Chains A and B, each alone.
Chain A
């Protein structure tokens, strides 16, 4: 990745949690750098400390040892959409700008444009509960993007959706992220989701999480959306390799 400028660098990052029961090491000696515009997925068994890595990148917690370097503002997308039921879709989308006291006409216009562009133009004044799960997740993504983050952190954003919706929403979200050109880091336990969406897949060991391997994912041009990728003959090969690594770790 030396030819690209990196926006996220984790250097020998370890993270320990302290509790009455003792000290647990969640993350151990992770090195990772993510280049501009890259889509990187982090897969690993549940509870291995994947989310801890996102919290570290977001600056919500500080590493015990090592360095975390992030160039630019970070946007977060959660497992559940976390749209506020007391706000309309538009006002939900404007939340980040409001907190950052950046409600310039230009920023608001940008938010409106994204809502229109990604099919939520008619729902600006609706409440979240009037929208389907997929639409809500799209609204949540637009809310995150409206604050113009350089890096987008996705914490299992599709796991609360049913399988059908999940496929179409990951297509949509993948498309929006590509169109807006943001760097994205996705954490998931779903190997196929990781392969379908990303350019690189980082495989983590079980707790304490360390990097087992990093796979470069490349598909031919005709398989350019997440759903199309799933139909490529290379897809099961990638899956097999990653799955095996995770199995051997157990």
Chain B
């Protein structure tokens, strides 16, 4: 390795370290300033809470054993809504891919339904399905399913024509074409849809929990604000951030696994 190359690599590493340092610095100073401002009375800690108050809330909630239950409820609902939304979205996209006529017929409905803020439907779903976690999961599912259909369908229809002709020249039927060519070629689009879906499922679950839940992080946020325990509200939001980060990290790992899937 030449000296210049060594210097170049060193520069790259230094830059990477610098970026990481700045990222940590932002986090530390955010919480540091918050704590300081609350401690010095610049902001009212009763309304704005503070990192130390959140910490005490965290400890007491762990002690009472309820925090993990709330995390588990929200996480489970997000996963259920997300999985159902993704699977159903891909299934519908597959049917639409296979049938051009249906695709044309349904296209305007899909586009309008996609533009509609699905959270507006949450109250209806709760009336129909009752005051239970099922209603929350369906809300999450509704929010993510249309985007999945549209994204995955775009992926399916953009598969190179010659790839399909190749399979057909070997005598492939529609199902073989789908399994051997269209699905694998659309894996990057499916992963993209999954990435979007995770965020949307969180939106659906939190909205649902705002409206009906007896447990979950969304419930904690609403309940905390009603009894004016801002420590509880802030802590719940922070935990929600962490939970979303964990979900996202898992997807990034899956995405890396498929890195050599494309040219």
Chain A interface residues (CB < 8 Å from chain B): 58, 60, 74-76, 78-80, 82, 84-86, 95-96, 98-100, 127-129, 147, 153
Contact = CB atoms under 8 A, between A and B. Distances in A.
Residue with the highest number of chain A CB atoms closer than 10 Å, among B166, B169, B172? B169
A58 B181 CA distance: 19
B160 interface: yes
Contacts of B187: 86
B170 interface: yes
The 4 closest A-B pairs by CB, nearest first: A76-B169, A96-B170, A99-B170, A99-B172
Interface stretch (B50-58, B133-141, B211-219, B255-263): B255-263
Nearest to B177: A99
A139 B185 CA distance: 19
Given A99-B170, A100-B170, 19 more contacts: A58-B169, A60-B168, A75-B169, A76-B165, A76-B166, A78-B162, A82-B160, A82-B162, A82-B163, A82-B166, A84-B184, A85-B262, A95-B166, A95-B170, A99-B171, A99-B180, A128-B263, A129-B260, A153-B169
Given A129-B260, A129-B263, A84 B169 contact: no
A127 B187 CA distance: 17
B165 A60 contact: yes
Contact of B184 (A79, A82, A86): A86
Contacts of B181: 84
Contacts of B263: 85, 128-129
Contacts of B107: none
B176 interface: yes
A78 B166 contact: yes
